[in-house]
Amino acid sequence: MTFLEMLADAQQRNRSMLCVGLDPEPSRLPGRMAGDASKIHDFCARIVDATADLVIAFKPQIAYFAAHRAEDQLERLVMHIRQVAPHVPVILDAKRGDIGSTAEQYAKEAFERYGADAVTLSPFMGFDSVQPYLQYRGKGAFLLCRTSNPGGDDLQNQQLAGLPGQPRLYEHIAKLAQTHWNTNGQLGLVVGATYPAEIERVRQIAPTVPLLIPGIGAQGGDAIATVKAGWRANAPIVVNSSRAILYAGKGDDFMDAARDAAMKTRDQLQAARGG
């Protein structure tokens, strides 16, 4: 299946818009795993086992693996997801953004080495930095648009005086993702849950592309406002929660605690869209 087909299948099968972000910090691992970077795979695999029937996607953040020389553990983790949840897509959170020849290597890393179904990208070097990822037919790419961090205002919320209507930069990115750049229907957008009004604006500009929405849980985004602003019947939203689920438990019961937190969030999101 293509990435979009996998999203639709996981959404229906698991009745979910919830994405669990896999951002393992060795110092926060529970119980006897605490402080042991060699246990990153084991911890994340148990989180996957506990939540596989509750999610629309899993989103490993590559920096949390690479910083601890755990790239091989990330490869094993993606294989584990394929085994226990073959219908759930994997979004590699890498936020890559570089010139075309280098982007080709990053695309190979994401889709061939790690076997991801989609990847997050920075679009600020232009379309030629995005295009190599789109050569992988059926894969997805989420462009940073209106991110959840406060510093996003520094660039994303600035008006572009040289364009008709003087759109803000994030509005222009949303338009490109909906139209000129999205030739094969592979693009989505990253929009933070901390800005529900901007989610709604992005959805007006880009009514059919999938939205990856981080920022609920530990970052304080409102789950109900997020769904009301972004969900449409013909365009999926992928609402990410990481720390609030990963570290819901600190002891040997961490799998049960993670499942409980994921189920509560999944159900809250579903209720906001009316079941």
Catalytic pick among 95, 108, 228, 264: 95
β-strand pairing of 18-22 with 237-241: parallel
Q: Can you tell me whether residue 273 is helix, strand or coil?
A: coil
Count of beta carbons in the 10 Å neighbourhood of residue 111: 19
Residues 6+ apart with CB under 8 A from 119: 91, 92, 93, 94, 96, 107, 110, 111, 133, 139, 140, 141, 142
250 is catalytic: no
Report the amino acid identity of residue 180. H
Q: How far apart are CA 71 and CA 269, in angstroms?
A: 32
Phi-psi region of 31 (alpha: psi -120 to 50; beta: other; left: phi over 0): left
Residues identified as active-site: 95
